Amino acid sequence: GQQVMQIPQYQHVQEGEDFTTYCNSSTTLSNIQWYKQRPGGHPVFLIQLVKSGEVKKQKRLTFQFGEAKKNSSLHITATQTTDVGTYFCAGPDGPGGYNKLIFGAGTRLAVHP
Amino acid sequence: EPEVTQTPSHQVTQMGQEVILRCVPISNHLYFYWYRQILGQKVEFLVSFYNNEISEKSEIFDDQFSVERPDGSNFTLKIRSTKLEDSAMYFCVIGGVAYEQYFGPGTRLTVT
């Protein structure tokens, strides 16, 4: 079945440093979604990318969808302590729509002040 | 972001007991899902529900699990005979208009 892999599993950074997490799917995706889960919280939807090569920005966060629509990345510029949490990518298992999401294992970000 | 609420926030039960996890209130949504997350692990799909019917279920969702929307608003997940390995966070999720998914705060199920 479809697999979504994420690296790294865990990243420590000093506040102000940049952070990147990478996501790879075993199959071509109709879209890729990113979620953030704060410690003790629930996954919160951040963004969805649909087009090949698409790049979207949310303040200090930059999301990219690969040309082949099999990989994606999330880059955070100048991390802050509020960025702490686990970042998950997820892709629909199927042609999209309301298909179930297959989640990556997540990248846990720790930010030291 | 659509609001999703879940009750209880934490449920402790003994192995073999039945539990019902509730997602309330839900209105004006068609697509619902249950996912679970064992502590420190990835989010796993359990079941999707559309138009009052199961549309897809995972291998995890065996005969011990069932879902209902008994009164058109509440959405429930029942586990008939809990096992130790059912201990996890269970998230009720609704589908957004652009196929994004919105997670409820979750119910932490602890089976002893």
Looking at residue B3, what is its pLDDT?
78
- Put simply, whether B99 touches A (Cβ < 8 Å) is yes
B85-100 average pLDDT score: 91
In chain A, positions 73-112, which contact chain B (CB-CB < 8 Å)? 88, 90, 92-93, 96-106
Is the model's pLDDT at A42 over the cut of 90?
yes
Residues of B within 8 A of A31 (CB-CB) are 99
Superfamily of domain A4-112: Immunoglobulins (2.60.40.10)
% of chain A residues with pLDDT over 70: 99
Rounded to an integer, what distance in angstroms lies between the CA atom of residue B65 and that of residue B61?
A: 6
Residue A104 distance to chain B (closest CA, Å): 7
Dihedral in degrees, nearest 10, Cα atoms B98, B32, B35, A45: 30
Is the model's pLDDT at A96 over the cut of 70?
no
Q: Which domain holds residue B83?
A: 6-107
How many domains are there within chain B? 1
Is the model's pLDDT at B27 over the cut of 70?
no
- Put simply, whether A25 touches B (Cβ < 8 Å) is no
Residue of A nearest to B37 (CA): A42
Contact (CB, 8 A) for A13 and A111: yes
Looking at residue B4, what is its pLDDT?
86
pLDDT-derived band at B26 (thresholds 50, 70, 90) equals low
Domain assignment present for B84: yes
CATH of the domain at B70: 2.60.40.10
Is B44 in Cβ contact with A100 (below 8 Å)?
Answer: no
Domain assignment present for B1: no
- Of A77, A19, A69, residue with least CA distance to A48: A69
Q: What number of residues does chain B have?
A: 112
% of chain B residues with pLDDT over 70: 96
